[in-house]
Amino acid sequence: MSELRVAIFTGNYNYIRDGVALTLNQLVEYLERKNIPVLIFAPSGPNPAIDPHQGNLNVTPSISMPVPGRKEYRVATHFSGKHKRKLEAFQPTLIHIATPDGLGIGALKWAKRHDIPVVSSYHTHFLSYVDYYKFFLGPVKWPFKKMIQWFYPQCQRIYVPSQSMIKELEVEGISGDMKIWARGIDTKLFSPVRRDQHWREKMGFAEDDIVVSFVSRLVWEKELGTYIESVRRIQQRYPKVKALVVGDGPAKQEAQEKLPNGVFTGFCSGENLARAYASSDLFLFPSYTETFGNVTLEAMACGVPCLVANAIGSSSLVIDGENGRLAKPGDILDFSNKLEQMIFSPPTLLEMGLRSRKLALEYKWDQINESLISDYKSVISDFEPTLN
């Protein structure tokens, strides 16, 4: 079998700190640690949110343009001659495409011409995001859907983060050989031991306050509005319920206006982020566009019970009645009712938190990426070049 040499094509590797970038950085760090050559092609920005780990200088920037309605994100427009020369010099034995944009489509065509196996990973449920930006993206939904129905079946493998995502893609008419590539968690960093009463007091929380947290990039498609309204309704009857919002983004100012008594920490990472999770009493995340739910897993690892949308991604992590509750997506009444039920029983909250931690311990990055690399090798071994 050929040496494993991986070229990764993605719409975001480091210019915005989101689940796609963090997952791919974890993968590249693992590949480098295992001495597997890797080359990344991705759009770049003036002030990267993630500093690629030391040693990884193999990032080739691609030409890109802002996404209509979400200018902080960029879409790679094409696969250039420079990319082709860099790729040919690298001599990959596997192409991994994380985003079906102009760059990714160009990489797919190049791989087919050179008889190189292609795998893809489905990180963002693009079709669900269109509903939040209908004015800008509505006209492209149908052609984009047709494009991804064409794109993914041409890949030798499609890696998805959960079984529920496989079912959703099948409903959307997207076919192919799908395999689960879950997400991992640093269970030493994200741990119940990070709970800090002094930090809670510093944030203005009393010892007997029930702190309900929300952690995400602050954009409305994460159902930030459902979080705000659910907490506000409960606060009318239970003033000891307090809101903790961790993150930054274009919706922050408006969210603060809607929730003036909430604590907004801004962006947090590392130990500061883990402390915020562990120092809360309940994690409320209503987003139903997640393909996995990294933030839910981080909260679970910190021993926090979770109230999430009964949707793809989140429902694969939260077992209703065991480590949290599932609520109807977008249904503020259902979320607020289940939030009330959870906070009304402190012993149940404690038991759910213990169960959250236990379930999170099953998600270890090294084990997950080791399995992925093993599958990479199977794809290469089973690949039959196209006869031209």
Q: What is the CATH number of the domain that holds 243?
A: 3.40.50.2000
Mean per-residue pLDDT, 315-332: 95
Q: What is the pLDDT of residues 68-108, one digit of tens each?
A: 666 777 778 888 999 999 999 999 999 999 999 999 999 99
Residues 225 and 339 in one domain: yes
Pair 80, 60: CB distance under 8 Å: no
Whether pLDDT at 330 is above 60: yes
Domain hosting residue 369, numbered range: 6-184+364-382
Residues 149 and 273 in one domain: no
Determine how many CB atoms are found less than 10 A away from the CB of residue 298: 23
pLDDT at position 172? 84
Pair 357, 95: CB distance under 8 Å: no
Residue 387 within any structural domain of the chain: no
Q: What is the pLDDT of residues 40-59, one digit of tens each?
A: 999 876 666 676 554 455 68
Pair 107, 22: CB distance under 8 Å: no
Measured CA angle at 13 (ends 159, 381), to 5 deg: 35
Residues 134 and 240 in one domain: no
Reported confidence tier of residue 188, pLDDT bands at 50, 70, 90? very high
Q: What is the pTM of this model?
A: 0.80
Residues 303 and 375 in one domain: no
Share of the chain above pLDDT 70, in %: 90
Residue 375 within any structural domain of the chain: yes
Pairing between β-strand 263-266 and β-strand 241-246 as defined by DSSP bridges: parallel
Mean per-residue pLDDT, 2-16: 88
Residue 326 within any structural domain of the chain: yes
pLDDT at position 254? 97
Whether pLDDT at 317 is above 60: yes
What total number of domains does the chain contain?
A: 2
Residue 388 within any structural domain of the chain: no
Residue 1 within any structural domain of the chain: no
Residues 131 and 216 in one domain: no
Pair 150, 346: CB distance under 8 Å: no
Tokens linked to 23: 């997952």
pLDDT at position 324? 98
Per DSSP, 249 falls in state: S
pLDDT at position 131? 59
**For residue 183, which amino acid is it?**
R
Share of the chain above pLDDT 90, in %: 68
Residue 47 burial (C-beta neighbours within 10 Å; 0-12, 13-18, 19+): exposed
pLDDT at position 192? 98
pLDDT at position 313? 79
Residues 297 and 377 in one domain: no
Residues 335 and 202 in one domain: yes
Reported confidence tier of residue 236, pLDDT bands at 50, 70, 90? very high
Which of residues 189 and 161 earns the better pLDDT score? 189
pLDDT at position 55? 43
Q: Which of 161-165, 304-308, 343-347 has the highest average model confidence (pLDDT)?
A: 304-308
